[in-house]
Amino acid sequence: MSDTDDRRYHHGNLRTALLAEAERSVREHGAEQLSLRELARQVGVSHAAPRRHFPDRQALLDALAETGFERLGNELRAAVEEAGHDFQARLRATAAAYIRFATDDAALLELMFAGKHRAGAEQLVTAADRAFAVMFDLIVQGQAEGVIEPGEPERVGLVLFATVQGIASLINGSMVDAELLDGLADDAVEHFLRGSRARV
Protein backbone atom coordinates (compact mmCIF):
# COMPACT_ATOMS: atom_id res chain seq x y z
CA MET A 1 0.00 0.00 0.00
CA SER A 2 1.11 3.58 -0.49
CA ASP A 3 2.67 5.24 2.49
CA THR A 4 0.02 7.95 2.44
CA ASP A 5 -2.70 5.39 2.82
CA ASP A 6 -3.42 5.16 6.51
CA ARG A 7 -5.95 2.37 6.02
CA ARG A 8 -3.82 -0.44 7.34
CA TYR A 9 -5.41 -3.82 7.85
CA HIS A 10 -5.09 -3.35 11.56
CA HIS A 11 -6.50 -0.02 12.55
CA GLY A 12 -4.37 0.04 15.70
CA ASN A 13 -6.72 2.15 17.75
CA LEU A 14 -10.13 1.01 16.70
CA ARG A 15 -11.71 0.80 20.10
CA THR A 16 -10.82 4.37 20.96
CA ALA A 17 -11.77 5.62 17.53
CA LEU A 18 -15.15 3.94 17.77
CA LEU A 19 -15.82 5.42 21.18
CA ALA A 20 -14.85 8.89 20.02
CA GLU A 21 -17.04 8.71 16.96
CA ALA A 22 -19.87 7.20 18.99
CA GLU A 23 -19.73 9.99 21.53
CA ARG A 24 -19.92 12.54 18.74
CA SER A 25 -22.84 10.74 17.17
CA VAL A 26 -24.72 10.34 20.44
CA ARG A 27 -24.33 14.01 21.21
CA GLU A 28 -25.66 14.90 17.78
CA HIS A 29 -28.39 12.34 17.19
CA GLY A 30 -29.02 10.56 20.46
CA ALA A 31 -28.26 7.02 21.52
CA GLU A 32 -31.26 5.48 19.79
CA GLN A 33 -29.99 6.55 16.39
CA LEU A 34 -26.54 5.10 16.95
CA SER A 35 -25.72 2.43 14.39
CA LEU A 36 -22.70 0.19 14.69
CA ARG A 37 -22.54 -0.21 10.92
CA GLU A 38 -22.64 3.53 10.35
CA LEU A 39 -19.95 3.93 13.00
CA ALA A 40 -17.77 1.37 11.27
CA ARG A 41 -18.22 3.16 7.96
CA GLN A 42 -17.19 6.51 9.38
CA VAL A 43 -14.13 5.04 11.03
CA GLY A 44 -13.27 3.20 7.84
CA VAL A 45 -13.53 -0.44 8.88
CA SER A 46 -15.82 -3.26 7.91
CA HIS A 47 -19.25 -3.64 9.47
CA ALA A 48 -18.15 -6.55 11.65
CA ALA A 49 -14.95 -5.03 12.99
CA PRO A 50 -16.54 -3.31 16.01
CA ARG A 51 -17.60 -6.70 17.26
CA ARG A 52 -13.98 -7.48 18.16
CA HIS A 53 -14.06 -4.69 20.73
CA PHE A 54 -17.70 -4.65 21.80
CA PRO A 55 -19.64 -7.92 21.87
CA ASP A 56 -22.84 -6.10 21.12
CA ARG A 57 -24.29 -2.65 20.75
CA GLN A 58 -25.11 -2.33 24.42
CA ALA A 59 -21.51 -3.02 25.41
CA LEU A 60 -20.41 -0.02 23.40
CA LEU A 61 -23.08 2.14 25.01
CA ASP A 62 -21.93 0.96 28.43
CA ALA A 63 -18.36 1.89 27.66
CA LEU A 64 -19.58 5.27 26.49
CA ALA A 65 -21.42 5.75 29.76
CA GLU A 66 -18.32 4.87 31.72
CA THR A 67 -16.12 7.44 30.03
CA GLY A 68 -19.01 9.84 30.47
CA PHE A 69 -18.92 9.42 34.24
CA GLU A 70 -15.18 9.96 34.23
CA ARG A 71 -15.55 13.16 32.29
CA LEU A 72 -18.40 14.32 34.52
CA GLY A 73 -16.29 13.70 37.61
CA ASN A 74 -13.42 15.66 36.14
CA GLU A 75 -15.62 18.60 35.27
CA LEU A 76 -17.16 18.67 38.73
CA ARG A 77 -13.75 18.53 40.37
CA ALA A 78 -12.51 21.31 38.12
CA ALA A 79 -15.53 23.43 39.04
CA VAL A 80 -14.87 22.98 42.76
CA GLU A 81 -11.22 23.89 42.39
CA GLU A 82 -11.89 27.00 40.34
CA ALA A 83 -14.46 28.19 42.85
CA GLY A 84 -11.91 28.72 45.62
CA HIS A 85 -12.57 27.75 49.20
CA ASP A 86 -15.90 29.41 49.94
CA PHE A 87 -18.49 26.75 50.51
CA GLN A 88 -21.43 28.42 48.87
CA ALA A 89 -19.38 29.42 45.83
CA ARG A 90 -18.24 25.84 45.49
CA LEU A 91 -21.78 24.57 45.74
CA ARG A 92 -22.99 26.99 43.11
CA ALA A 93 -20.14 26.17 40.78
CA THR A 94 -20.69 22.44 41.14
CA ALA A 95 -24.41 22.69 40.53
CA ALA A 96 -23.84 24.84 37.47
CA ALA A 97 -21.19 22.46 36.16
CA TYR A 98 -23.46 19.48 36.61
CA ILE A 99 -26.33 21.16 34.83
CA ARG A 100 -23.97 22.31 32.11
CA PHE A 101 -22.82 18.75 31.51
CA ALA A 102 -26.36 17.44 31.66
CA THR A 103 -27.58 19.87 29.05
CA ASP A 104 -24.54 19.82 26.77
CA ASP A 105 -24.56 16.03 26.76
CA ALA A 106 -28.16 15.24 27.47
CA ALA A 107 -28.26 12.02 25.50
CA LEU A 108 -25.03 10.86 27.09
CA LEU A 109 -26.33 11.49 30.60
CA GLU A 110 -29.48 9.60 29.76
CA LEU A 111 -27.28 6.73 28.69
CA MET A 112 -25.29 6.98 31.89
CA PHE A 113 -28.40 6.78 34.04
CA ALA A 114 -30.00 4.07 31.94
CA GLY A 115 -26.98 1.83 32.05
CA LYS A 116 -26.47 2.03 35.79
CA HIS A 117 -29.36 -0.15 36.77
CA ARG A 118 -28.72 -2.98 34.38
CA ALA A 119 -27.03 -6.13 35.58
CA GLY A 120 -23.28 -6.66 35.39
CA ALA A 121 -22.32 -3.03 35.16
CA GLU A 122 -19.99 -2.88 38.10
CA GLN A 123 -17.39 -0.73 36.45
CA LEU A 124 -20.14 1.65 35.53
CA VAL A 125 -21.35 1.92 39.11
CA THR A 126 -17.80 2.54 40.30
CA ALA A 127 -17.33 5.30 37.76
CA ALA A 128 -20.64 6.84 38.80
CA ASP A 129 -19.75 6.75 42.49
CA ARG A 130 -16.45 8.44 41.80
CA ALA A 131 -18.22 11.23 39.93
CA PHE A 132 -20.90 11.80 42.52
CA ALA A 133 -18.41 11.69 45.39
CA VAL A 134 -17.57 15.28 44.51
CA MET A 135 -21.03 16.42 45.51
CA PHE A 136 -21.10 14.42 48.70
CA ASP A 137 -17.69 15.71 49.72
CA LEU A 138 -19.08 19.19 49.38
CA ILE A 139 -21.97 18.33 51.65
CA VAL A 140 -19.46 17.17 54.24
CA GLN A 141 -17.70 20.49 54.04
CA GLY A 142 -21.01 22.29 54.53
CA GLN A 143 -21.74 20.19 57.58
CA ALA A 144 -18.31 20.93 59.01
CA GLU A 145 -18.98 24.63 58.57
CA GLY A 146 -22.35 24.24 60.25
CA VAL A 147 -24.44 25.53 57.38
CA ILE A 148 -25.91 22.14 56.57
CA GLU A 149 -27.68 19.86 58.97
CA PRO A 150 -25.69 16.80 60.11
CA GLY A 151 -26.42 13.28 58.88
CA GLU A 152 -25.27 10.96 56.15
CA PRO A 153 -24.17 13.10 53.21
CA GLU A 154 -25.95 10.76 50.79
CA ARG A 155 -29.24 11.50 52.46
CA VAL A 156 -28.79 15.15 53.26
CA GLY A 157 -27.46 15.99 49.83
CA LEU A 158 -30.13 14.09 48.03
CA VAL A 159 -32.58 16.93 47.80
CA LEU A 160 -29.93 19.16 46.28
CA PHE A 161 -28.78 16.46 43.93
CA ALA A 162 -32.35 15.82 42.89
CA THR A 163 -33.03 19.48 42.31
CA VAL A 164 -29.96 19.91 40.16
CA GLN A 165 -30.76 16.79 38.19
CA GLY A 166 -34.37 17.93 37.86
CA ILE A 167 -33.40 21.32 36.49
CA ALA A 168 -31.36 19.53 33.87
CA SER A 169 -34.36 17.35 33.04
CA LEU A 170 -36.63 20.33 32.68
CA ILE A 171 -34.18 22.12 30.43
CA ASN A 172 -33.65 19.04 28.31
CA GLY A 173 -37.40 18.55 28.10
CA SER A 174 -37.79 22.13 26.88
CA MET A 175 -39.87 23.02 29.89
CA VAL A 176 -37.41 25.78 30.68
CA ASP A 177 -35.27 27.98 28.49
CA ALA A 178 -31.65 26.86 28.60
CA GLU A 179 -30.52 30.47 28.99
CA LEU A 180 -31.84 30.48 32.53
CA LEU A 181 -29.36 27.80 33.47
CA ASP A 182 -26.99 29.71 35.73
CA GLY A 183 -29.77 31.66 37.41
CA LEU A 184 -31.65 28.47 38.11
CA ALA A 185 -28.62 26.76 39.54
CA ASP A 186 -28.09 29.68 41.91
CA ASP A 187 -31.77 29.68 42.85
CA ALA A 188 -31.65 25.99 43.60
CA VAL A 189 -28.55 26.28 45.77
CA GLU A 190 -29.99 29.23 47.67
CA HIS A 191 -33.26 27.41 48.23
CA PHE A 192 -31.40 24.36 49.38
CA LEU A 193 -29.27 26.28 51.84
CA ARG A 194 -32.27 28.12 53.28
CA GLY A 195 -33.97 24.78 53.78
CA SER A 196 -30.92 22.95 55.08
CA ARG A 197 -29.31 25.24 57.55
CA ALA A 198 -28.62 23.36 60.73
CA ARG A 199 -31.31 24.24 63.22
CA VAL A 200 -30.37 24.14 66.92
Residues that bind DNA (CB under 7 A): 8-12, 14, 34-38, 40, 45-49, 51-53, 55-58
* 15-44 CB burial, b ≥16 within 10 A, e <16: eebbbebbbebbeeeebeebebeebbeebe
Q: Is residue 14 a contact point for a second copy (CB under 8 A)? A: no
Q: Is residue 159 a contact point for a second copy (CB under 8 A)? A: yes
* Binding site partner of 85, from DNA, a second copy, none, Cβ cut-off 5-8 A by kind: none
* Binding site partner of 36, from a second copy, DNA, none, Cβ cut-off 5-8 A by kind: DNA
The one among 19, 39, 167, 181 contacting a second copy by CB under 8 A = 167
* DSSP string covering 3-49: TT----SS-SSHHHHHHHHHHHHHHHH-STT--HHHHHHHHTS-TTG
Cβ at position 36, least distance to a second copy in Å: 15
The one among 88, 116, 141, 147 contacting a second copy by CB under 8 A = 116
Comparing CB distances to a second copy, the nearer of 40 and 185 is 185
- 76-154-105 Cα angle (round to 5): 35
Comparing CB distances to a second copy, the nearer of 35 and 49 is 35
Q: Is residue 162 a contact point for a second copy (CB under 8 A)? A: yes
Q: How far is CA 164 from CA 8, 124, 171, 189, 192, in A?
A: 47, 21, 11, 9, 10
